[in-house]
Amino acid sequence: MENNDDKTLLRNNPFFVIGIACLIAIIMFAVSFLSYYNSDTRKTIEQIQANNLNTETEQTNDVVVSTDLNANYIDNLEKSITDKILAGDDDADFSPEELTDSALGL
């Protein structure tokens, strides 16, 4: 009986209820923050910010940037990047054949 009265007293105590709500809010904030902190999204955003900062610095240092941006320029750049990257031959550069027992003479 006395126990039930204690519970009712606690339930009706606004400080207790607000305290619990604050505790839950703090924990939820901490969990959300940690989830964000560990996520790839944070890394991506930070990287974008770092890149933008670098670009701004470069722009103030190098004033002359006057290439005309058009579809042709973009197509050429796409081709140039694709050619450069796909020129790397993984089979030749990191061949599994040269690491076999027979190739190593083991």
Partner 1 sequence: MFKRFVLISGLLISLFVVAIPTSAQEQALPDVGSYSEDALTARLNALKDLYRINLTDKERQSVIENCEPAQVGLLKISTKLATTKLSRAKTYSSVVSSLVGLRSLVSAKRIDPSNIELLTVEYQQTIEKFNLAITAYQTTLDDAIQVDCRAQPEEFRASIEGVRASRKQVVSASSQINEVTKSNLKTAFDTLKDRLDAEVQTDGK
Rule CB under 8 A: is residue 9 a binding residue for partner 1? no
Measured in Å, how far apart are the chain's first and last C-alpha atoms?
83
Provide CB contacts within 8 A for 6, sequence distance 6+. none
DSSP 39: S
CB contact at 8 A, 36 and 42:
yes
Contact with partner 1 (CB under 8 A) among 1, 11, 12, 14: 11
Q: Which of 18, 22, 27, 53 binds partner 1 (CB under 8 A)?
A: 27
Write down the least CB distance from residue 13 to partner 1, Å.
Answer: 11
Tokens representing residue 71 in the block: 């579809």
Residue ranges in 62-91 that form contacts with partner 1 under rule CB under 8 A: 65, 67, 69-71, 74-75, 77-78, 80-82, 84-88, 90
Alpha helices, H only, 1-106: 2-12, 14-38, 40-61, 71-86, 90-93, 101-104
DSSP 8-state code for residue 98: G
Binding site for partner 1 (CB under 8 A): 7, 10-11, 20, 23-24, 27-28, 30-31, 34-35, 37-38, 40, 43-44, 47-48, 51-52, 54-55, 58-59, 65, 67, 69-71, 74-75, 77-78, 80-82, 84-88, 90, 93-94, 96, 98-99, 103-106
